[in-house]
Amino acid sequence: MSALPDPHNQGFRLSQLIYDTRYRSMTIQIVAMFGILSFIGWLIGNTNANLAALGKPIEFGFLGDQAGYDINQRLLDYDSQDSHLRAAFLGLLNTLLLALLGCITATILGVIIGVLRLSKNWIVARLMTVYIEAFRNIPVLLWILIVFGIMIEVMPAPRDFRSGEASMMLFDTMAVTNRGIYIPEPLFSGGFSDFSLFGDSALRFDVSTNLLIFLAVLFGGIYGARKLKKRADTIQNETGVRPTTWWQQLLVIFLPTILVLWAMGFHLGYPALKGFNFAGGTYLRNSLIALWIALSLYTAAFIAESVRAGIQAISKGQSEAAHALGISPGRTMNLVILPQALRIIIPPMISQWLNLTKNTSLAIAVGYMDLTGTLMGITLNQTGREMETLLIGMAIYLGLSLLISAAMNWYNNSVKLVER
């Protein structure tokens, strides 16, 4: 065998790019990359050329033009004189509000339903199975329309309140109508005035100083209460006797908060029938409620399945060990099983939250003016800038999803098992 001479080193030849296995894979990848890039380039070039031929080259100047239309649910000040950019921003806030409300309720519902589906009670477990199968196997748009349809058909119209066919609830503080639910709103009669961020630009944002002060005091109180609890823990560890601190904790949280509220003239504004609608109070629109309920119930079904999978992935020995130590079933779930299951549940939960956020774009079906309804709906229609509005809309949804992902991945990393 030693008769074989070493291959003569002839240096690099071009044919090696194809015939030499050391280089071939790289050649293929580079060729493929050029292919894909040129395809994308062709797509962009073709789009631009065709838009230019239509006389509509891509430009974003229309965002500064006057929008001319009104938005029903305004979280910030807006009127029809404002720009399209401002309208899009208001729409984005509506999207965010809906996504936030939906994610919170979907998660709470999903965890409860997922745990109940594993219940030893036959009826409860089967009911939850029926719930999950019903909700995740029917398109969410239908759920939205059904919830909305039920709301507008079953609940009384505002004019029924005048004729006495319907009446307000909870000591006349709350009105449930087919246009939505009116609840009392928190108001401040004194205190400090609001301050404005970003001046006069389209992204201007009024912040209530009173609300900030209230939140600061509340969180300060909670922080103080935790300090007290920690001190009690230390004393208990040292002496074995736990001092009674519950009333001190409550006092630390509530006393300053109530004092601050009183000082700023806090009171509730109640809804009252006036003209065609109720006026005053906080108005939760029928479209918001329908979307909130439908999206939460729908996404909760998926989250419940992730929760069930996470719990079942925890070895049975864990719960048996907990039971052997005499820990009650409820505490076993809360202290032993769920904390471990959480690590398995969070990654699929992220995608459910992303799904919910993207599903909010169905809002226009019931007349909720989210980002899709304003920027990619009326603005698109009034200005005829399909390409631009859709590109901006896509970029915003992408950014939103990436933000949620990033935040959740950060959280996921912080709770994941530290291996030694």
The strand pair at 180-183 and 175-177 is best described as antiparallel
The tokens describing 291, both together, are 């979307």
Number of Cβ within 10 Å of residue 69's Cβ equals: 16
Which of 88, 110, 10 is closest to 351 using CA atoms?
110
Closest Cα partner for 158 from 235, 273, 53? Answer: 273
190 sits near another protein (criterion: CB under 8 A): no
Neighbours of 383 (CB within 10 A): 16
Q: Which is nearer to another protein, 162 or 267 (CB)?
A: 162
Report residue 76 as tokens.
């910030």
Q: Which of 129, 208, 383, 412 binds another protein (CB under 8 A)?
A: 383
Asked if residue 236 binds another protein (CB under 8 A), the reply is: no
- Under rule CB under 8 A, residue 381 binds another protein: yes
Tell whether residue 272 is a contact of another protein (CB under 8 A): no
Which of 296, 95, 77, 268 minimizes the C-alpha distance to 182?
A: 268
Binding mask 27-66 toward another protein (x if CB under 8 A, else -) reads -------------------x---x--xxxx----------
Within positions 292 to 331, which residues make up the interface with another protein, using CB under 8 A? none
Min. distance of Cβ 186 from another protein in angstroms? Answer: 22
Q: Which is nearer to another protein, 277 or 351 (CB)?
A: 277
Token pair for 316: 């049975």
Taking CB under 8 A as the criterion, the residue among 276, 329, 402, 416 binding another protein is 276
Collapsing DSSP to helix, strand or coil, 118 comes out as coil
Residue 165 found at the interface with another protein (CB under 8 A): no
Q: Any contact of residue 69 with another protein (CB under 8 A)?
A: yes
Stretch binding another protein (CB under 8 A), from 106-114, 259-267, 269-277, 395-403? 269-277
H or E element at residue 153: helix 140-154
**Residues 143, 96, 65, CA angle at the centre, nearest 5°?**
110
Please name every residue paired with 276 in a beta bridge, in sequence order, or none if there are none: none
Q: Which of 91, 281, 377, 393 binds another protein (CB under 8 A)?
A: 377
Which residues lie near another protein (CB under 8 A)? 46, 50, 53-56, 68-72, 79-80, 149, 152-153, 157, 159, 178-179, 274-277, 279, 286-287, 364-365, 367, 369, 373, 377-378, 380-384, 386
